[in-house]
Structure 1
Amino acid sequence: MNFKKGNNFYLIILLILCFCEHLQSQKVADSLKNVSYDYMWERYYADTTRAAKIIYTDAIIARTKKEGDTATLMGGYELRSYLYRKNNRDKYLSYLDSIIKLGELKPINGYPEDKLLERGVDFYLNNDLKNALLDFIKIEDFGKNNTNLIRRNYNHLGLVKYELGDKFGALESYFKSLDMLKRESNSSQKSYLILYFNISNIYNETGKLDSAQYYINEGIRISQELNDTLYYNHFIANKGINLFYKEDYERANEILKKCLDSVQSEEVKAHINYYLGTINKKIGKFEQSLKHYLIVDSIISKINVLNPFYRKTYIELINHYKSKKELKSQFYYLNKLINMDSINHENEVFLNRNLYTDYEIPKLKAERNQIIFNIKQKDRKKMIWIIVLLVGSILILSGFIYQYYKRKSYQTRFLTLYNNQENDQKKEVPTNIKKPSYQLDISEEIIVHILEGLQKFEKNHDYLRAELTLPNLAKQLQTNSKYLSKVISAKKGKNFVQYINNLRVNYAIKKLKNNLSFRKYTLVAIANEIGFKKSESFTNAFKKETGITPFYFIKELQKKHPNS
């Protein structure tokens, strides 16, 4: 009971202190009503306490809202945003949002482009690549007169595009920045190092190895002139990567191993370890390879990088543990890969560019579900195998049965063709028709004329002409296409194409049976010989007429006459 009373006492004291502080703050705020903005700006930077800085920014924001001073209001929001940049990202972004909205309505004094760049960098560092890209693109609409900012923005655009997998788009942005840098009178050599490193990196990864080597050499030269060991080591690492792509694995391995201890960037270390892992895999040192891939995973997990370049590391780890049948490790890295691909998928990169080959997101999820199933359902494994074997056996047996009856059916059709002497006899075209002439709306004299013409047409094998069409046959028979089509349909029970294909196929059958040389032709040559322009058309027509393919027919003929 006394404890509760003690608590109440301290609570009352705390409330009194807070109230006093509020009164003091209000007193300070009231005292700032008539002072200049310059004074408050000066006091903001001079006073080291957070509470005082809040009071000054509150006063600036309140007065500028009342007076409608948009430019100074944006300045007040900017000062306030600094207070939350390191410890409260949501508030920090909310003040940047306010500045950008005001600046878009009334661009002034570098607003909103400066803050678009600042917010875009924050999005980039927090892997919100889609929003980062939107901010960097917007800058071009507002900062056209600020060439230095536009140049720096191209650098950031390149970084985001590279992270999104658009390497050629990134390269384009880097070269725009490089062109602007060359036109600056007081350009920094350090700016060249940043660009040359990024450009050489992309050229390495896209196979432009000579171009990569040029920018690597330039980077090494400038970094030596500036005595910049940081970038010097980065360029040496890129030199090793360049040798890797040239398949000089021994030198690449030697250079990259030396670079590991000298580079400072964690992401560059991740890159180096990936290449060392791949080199060791190629030369058969699989344990060393695994060690480097695990280091890559450790680094990118620590710095929260989702660059699609690193998904190859997870594929290697998944495949390694899959081969070792270590399901839990396989499942662990499969989840990491799914997470990486899912985030990139939300950024509309991977699916739009068809970069997924071995591990599309749905496939990954299906494989993950299968692993979960295997872990939880080991007791049912034998039953699953029995079912699989049973279904497989049924499918195989069904396939054998189907093939047996198919071969039997083909054999029967072949024998029918082979023994059918009608194909070897001359077929006369009778002059009587199935329909009376008055039903065809054609005079009997014309019908007889057409039939006699068809008889001569068949006798002379004119149907073997590849250029044969209904109109030119009608012209040959001195009639018109309409009459000819009606007579063929009534007499043969076929349309014109079916009638010609039937004549050609029967001719081919007869010639294949009786002519050894013709039997040795290719299907293309046979098709051309009997009037078909394509072997596929001949095969389709032959199968439609006979139920078997010409290839099968010829093969069976050769069995019947092996020595002929």
Structure 2
Amino acid sequence: MMRFIFPIILLFTNCFFAQGNKIDTLNKFGYSELKNKFYNYNDNIKTDKAKIIAQYYLQKAKNEKNTLQIADGYVLTHFNENFSNALKYLDSAATITKNLKGTIYPSQTYLMKGNLYYKYDNLKVALDNYILGLQYAKEQKDQKLTSYANMNIAYLNSYIGKNAEAAKTFRYYLYNGKNITDESQHNQMRVSLIYCYIEINKLDSAKLLIKEGLRSQFTNKNKYIVSQYSYYSGYLDLKQKKYKAAIAELSKAYTYYSSINDNNANYALFNLGKAFDGLANKEKAAENYTKLDSITVKSNYTFPELREVYTYLIDYYKEKNNKEKQLYYIDRFLKVDKKLDEQFRYLSVELPKKYDTPNLIQQKENIINDLKNKKIVLYASIVTLLLILLLLTYLYYKAKKTEKKHQKVAQELINSIEIRNFEIPEGKLDTTYIQETEPVNIEDKAIKATPEDVIQFILKELEIFETKELFLKKGITSASLAKSIKTNTSYLSEVINTQKEKNFAAYLNDLRINYALNRLVRDRKFRSYKLSVIADELGYNNEQAFSLAFKKKTGTTLSIYIKEIEKSINPE
């Protein structure tokens, strides 16, 4: 994502643009006025004047031994220092506010550190600090700090390509941040949303926001922001393949950002290269990409699009048969790709883990809200979370164990069916009973006075019933079957109980399930049917009845059985 300015940084004041360009006598101003003057100069890239105000602010606070203002002075001073010094100032702010209660610290310190690491392209540590800042902001019940943390994390989501998700955050604070964002931050939300819209191809929405931004009175006051909209106008033209228009706008943005040595010049160069390539001007494209490489070598600043730059230059010099340049850009690609891959993998794993899983956090917050005693709240929260984690772990492993058991059962069934199928003629389905998974409750097996010839007759009719697969018809009962074979239900039940060793319902169910097991192995088309269709073809009234019957009979589920069949047919 293009990193205009920083993520949200104005955490302890709403800035306004003071009149005049000279630094007035500072001793007549209070802390709030000094902060406003600092941000006025800082936002307008008047770094030297901003530094003077920050140093005066810090010294004033130290002279007055005002701990909170000393911390704010450290924060102001860190903005225009190199990384090492800036980090020392923020650490000093953290140390001095360690025991302060009821302030925006330590949340602000962590969020500022996150911004610092973000600026210097260490996104992994930036995320960790944002998460800590968010946690403290929630504990402090500070709506603004919580909002700033959410906005900053949205930048990281955009970085790893989750622009639709990031857009939701930016859009929310653009239109609902009246009491949270100042004019500068409001514009920043608009610019960030424009980027996300272009990336997810909502180009009309992006165009409307660009026009809205250019009409803003705030934009006209700040050359930096004017250049933002020049850049995004060019980027939008590039997406629409209006290459000449894109070059004109991107060139304006590049001229300004390069004049103030701003990293956003890199993005302008990158897209200028793409625009020239769109015009089939490979020389100009390579020229911009070569210039971009020389800048990133010095700054060690990376962004995901650099991969495209180096692959383009490798191919460009391959066509030129310049092996030295090829080798150089291959080496640069490998170094940049390694760094980008490390950051991307870390953010992809840690963002969902630390930020996108609100369920446990919400449960903890609910407990905190319900309980009055803080000690009880703390212990109850920890115990609840541990129990939930243990339960989830138990359920997960139990589900895995059950799944493996079902897979094993399914494999054994398939193997036994395949062995029997060698002995069954093609086109005929085997309905041999599988072994019962649990004992069957058989009706009273006391032998009744059923004539032997009647028993043999009924057995013969049952063989026909099974062979012709009449058991697949819906609505079969012992009475209807007895009637169709011209006997009575008493004789039929006795024969099934004694000869088949099960009651009528179990007998009918076994026939259907065994039919299903065999046909699923043989018939690929049958396996592709919906559950409701399979159940209907087997004579069941609904899919729930079939699913329960299948699992009870086989010891596995239909879905696992079908998956194991597919595995045996198409092994990886």
* TM-score w.r.t. length of structure 1: 0.49
Using CA pairs under 8 Å that are at least 6 residues apart, name the structure with larger relative contact order, 1 or 2.
Answer: 2
Greater share of helix? 1
Computing the radius of gyration over CA atoms, which structure comes out larger, 1 or 2?
A: 1
* TM-score w.r.t. length of structure 2: 0.49
